């Protein structure tokens, strides 16, 4: 974002950026549950990282897209599940942004739906040359008493430069 915007243009740009980031954060769940590898990959930069505290890191768009073909994930989808994100808290600084939210996986069981996973999530995003926002790094930590999850959420006001 250039600094020669009028105050109104700057405010409009901030709102457009925030809305675009909401779309990226929330589109992941629909894409992964819809087994749409291309749409999952479109959320990330080519060298993006998806780090899940209790599972490990997936590095690179192709590796992240492969989630849609993972037997465990296919079993979740086959039994009924929904990956969901809460509305993220977004901090934009120029062409970089941080989004903090809760993410969860609702699963279907014999007695209806239940929350199978609940995580604290912090996403680092970057504006691409075409103006689109993409995830550079996503960190999920399970909200199972692990202090790393609370620390991650506690960084709510730390922008991309911190």
Q: What is the pLDDT of residue 46?
A: 97
Q: What is the pLDDT of residue 52?
A: 92
Domains of the chain: 7-154 (3.10.450.50)
* Cα dihedral 57, 61, 63, 65 in deg (nearest 10): 110
Distance (Å, rounded) from C-alpha 154 to C-alpha 149? 9
Instruction: Give every residue of the chain whose pLDDT is below 50, as ranges.
Output: 1
Q: What is the pLDDT of residue 48?
A: 97
Q: Please tell me whether residue 96 adopts helix, strand or coil conformation.
A: strand
**Each residue's pLDDT tens digit, 122-153:** 999 999 999 999 999 999 999 999 999 999 99
Q: What is the pLDDT of residue 3?
A: 58
Helix (H) or strand (E) holding 118: strand 112-127
Distance (Å, rounded) from C-alpha 102 to C-alpha 108? 20
Average model confidence (pLDDT) across the chain: 94
Contact between 126 and 99 (Cβ < 8 Å): no
Distance (Å, rounded) from C-alpha 87 to C-alpha 97? 15
Q: Please tell me whether residue 147 adopts helix, strand or coil conformation.
A: helix
Q: What is the pLDDT of residue 125?
A: 98
Distance (Å, rounded) from C-alpha 29 to C-alpha 121? 13
DSSP category for residue 68 = G
């Amino acid at each position: 974002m250039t600094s020669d915007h009028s105050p109104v243009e700057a405010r409009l740009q901030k709102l457009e950026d925030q809305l675009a980031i909401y779309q990226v954060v929330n589109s992941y769940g629909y894409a992964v549950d819809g087994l749409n590898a291309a749409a999952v990959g479109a959320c990330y930069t080519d060298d993006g990282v998806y780090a899940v505290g209790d599972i490990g890191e997936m590095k690179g768009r192709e590796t992240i897209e492969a989630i849609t073909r993972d037997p465990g994930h296919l079993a979740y989808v086959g039994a009924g599940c929904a990956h969901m994100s809460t509305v993220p808290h977004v901090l934009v600084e120029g062409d970089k942004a941080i989004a903090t939210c809760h993410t969860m996986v609702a699963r279907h069981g014999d007695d209806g739906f239940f929350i199978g996973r609940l995580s604290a999530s912090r996403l680092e995003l970057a504006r691409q040359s075409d103006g689109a926002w993409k995830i550079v790094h996503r960190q999920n930590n399970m909200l199972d008493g692990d202090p790393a999850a609370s620390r991650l959420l506690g960084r709510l006001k730390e922008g991309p430069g911190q």
